[in-house]
Structures are given as structure tokens and as C-alpha cells.
Copies of this chain bind each other. A is one copy, B any other.
Amino acid sequence: MKQLFKTIFFITLLSIGAVIAHAQKTEQLNFINAKALTLIGKSEETQNVYDRIDSNKYKGLPTRVAQLLTNSAGLAISFKTNSTVISAKWCVSKSRALANMFPTAHKGVDLYIKRGDKWQFAGIGKVGGVCNDELIISRMDNTEKECLLYLPLYDKVDEVQIGVDKKANIAPGEEPFAKRVLIYGSSIVQGTGASRPGMAYPARLSRLTGINFINLGLSGSAKMEPEVIDMVAAIHADAYILDCVPNTNPALIKERTAYMINTIRSKHPKVPIIVMQSVIRESGYWDKTLGETVKNQNINIQQEVLALLDKGVKDLYFITSEKMLGNDHEGTVDGVHPNDLGYERMLAHIQPLITDILKKYNIKLDKN
């Protein structure tokens, strides 16, 4: 028993020590405004640096779309440092927790560090309130490292600062990814169900391929409205991926698909346009009405794309979704949105198809 008390006392001391060490670490850090570093993943320059798009530049956008464009989904800070510690301060809105999202994906940040030629996860900044000050990783060696700090997927962020050792260097990183592939789509693009910002599928595609996939996920609102499509078409990219089937309905798909594809084609005559079917909604196996709706959405999008191909539209591709999330029905958080397991399976399905298409257009890393 005496031994037990000694052990408990020792553990308590260790815990207190850890708290003091954390406090000392934070005070000893040098914080730099992330605006002085490199911001990647943007569709275009914006007045508010962490918005994805200046919605007032485009006429007639639905209010919800304009609001979602202020979410920092897909944005990341690229920097180089030899610091042994990396910390972050960032502010988000007061919006309530989302019932089907991890708090870190919703309002938190996560860090990747280059290891050899691969980006490797290093740690998260947990969200605890509107303004956050979190130690992400510490006790590293002091070699220079290339870092990527992903920003929240579903909130507007502000005042991002990166903290490093007082004696360490920190400098803007290079743009780590080549070319630009815009992904317009639903919450599945924006990242609902992912456990942290870097696990959204466009971010994972970028790290896996070296190509710059831009997240234009508009949760619940990727409805192919003509005004939104005009905005999508106005953004320069080397390829366009359209993963917007889940947010519409079979009738809207018939009504709007041709306008979407023709508009992008007319502005960008020779770039590849890749249209994706909706993931099969797991709840649809039981909810017969939902199952039928998704089936009809997927039939209609396929018919629309085939009709355009018949009419001679070139450089247009189609990815089907059958078994995209595997066959054990465990790949979603809620019957609709993939979890990290579902996204892994989805990537295994779409990544080779997408990279094969992009290679034909020389959209690849030079080394590949």
C-alpha cells in the first residue's frame, strides 16, 4: 500500500510537471501572424484572407452558399521551421457544435510535417472556445521541417498565429502541390465525417498525389444553381471535379447538369471535367424512399453526362459510385457522410481514376 501511495504521488508530480512544462513552453514561444506565411488551397485572392471566395464578387449567390464560402475548408498554412515545438492560436465563430462532426474537423486545426517525400500527420489543435491557444507538437528534434497547418473545415477563422521556440527560425513555405484541380461538391467534399481538417478527401488527394485539389465543398448547398455554376466557371483551374449530386434531387439533376457542364466547358475549352455519382447512402438500404431517391439521382446524372457525350462534349468523364464505401456498411458516421474509413475506401476507388484522367492532360507532379 505504501508503494501504491508512492506511485500515485509520483504520477501526480509527473502530471503537475507536465502542466508547468506546457505553461512554460507557451510563454517561451514566439508567435508569428500566419498572414506572413504561405496560405494554400485558395480558389482566388480574397479580401478576408481566410475566406475561400469573396461572395460579393458574384451576383445572386444563395445566402447559405455565401456563408459557406467564408468557411476555411481546404485552406492550410505552409511554413518552414526548425522549432522543436509548434503551437497555434486561432479564433472561430460562436456557432454551435455540429452533431455529426468531430469538433477538430469543425473548428480545430491539424498539422502535417514532410518526412522524406511524404506528408505525415503530427498533431491537432483542439478547439475549446472562440479563441484557442494550443500546443500541437513538442519535444521534436531541431532539424528544419516543412509544415502544413490545416484550418477548420466548417467555420470562419481569424487571427491565426503560429508559435515556435524563441530561438527558432520560421519562414513561409513553398506551395507544396502542383497545378489546380477544383472540386465543387457537397458536405462530402467539405469534409463532414472526417476526424480532422487534413482528413477531408480533397486534402488527402493533394497529399497522396502532389496535385493541388481545391476544396469548394458547400455543405448541403451544392445544388448547381446557375449563379453558383457561373462562379465555379469563373475560377481558373486545370481540371474540374463535380461531386454535387448528393445535395440535389433527381429532377434538379435533369434540369441543371447540362448548364453546369456547358458553362464550365465554354469558359475552359480543353480542361477535363470529371463528374462523380453520389455515394450510396447507407440509410437508403433500409429507408426505401431515400434509397430510391439516391438511385434516381445517380441514374439521372449518368444519363445527363451520357447525353452530353453523345452531343460531342469532349474531355468529359464520369465516375460511378457503386461500392465506393465498401460492402460492410460501416463506412459512414450517420448513414450519409463517410467516416475516415469510408473516405479511405472512396479514395481507393476514385484516386486511380482521377489521376489517370489528369495524367492525360499533363496534370501531375513533374517527377511522376
Contact = CB atoms under 8 A, between A and B. Distances in A.
Centre residue among A3, A252, A330 by max chain B CB count within 10 A: A330
Contact of A4 (B104, B121, B199, B226): B226
A333 B104 contact: yes
Interface in A293-342: 329-335, 339-342
A196 B199 CA distance: 18
Interface stretch (A68-76, A122-130, A160-168): A122-130
Nearest to A196: B333
Contacts of A103: 97-101
Contact of A330 (B11, B99, B121, B249): B121
A194 to B, nearest CB: 9
B102 A288 contact: no
B99 A141 contact: no
Chain A contact residues: over half helix, strand or loop, or mixed?
mixed
Query: Chain copies in the assembly?
Result: 2
Contact of A138 (B11, B99, B113, B287): B287
A251 B333 contact: no
Given A103-B97, A255-B7, A139 B333 contact: no
Nearest to A115: B285
Contacts of A225: 4
Nearest to A341: B340
A282 interface: yes
A140 interface: yes
6 contacts: A11-B249, A140-B288, A141-B288, A330-B340, A330-B344, A340-B340
Interface of A: 3-4, 7, 10-11, 14, 97-104, 108, 113, 115, 120-124, 126-128, 137-141, 193, 195-196, 199, 204, 225-226, 249, 251-252, 255, 282-283, 285-290, 329-335, 339-344
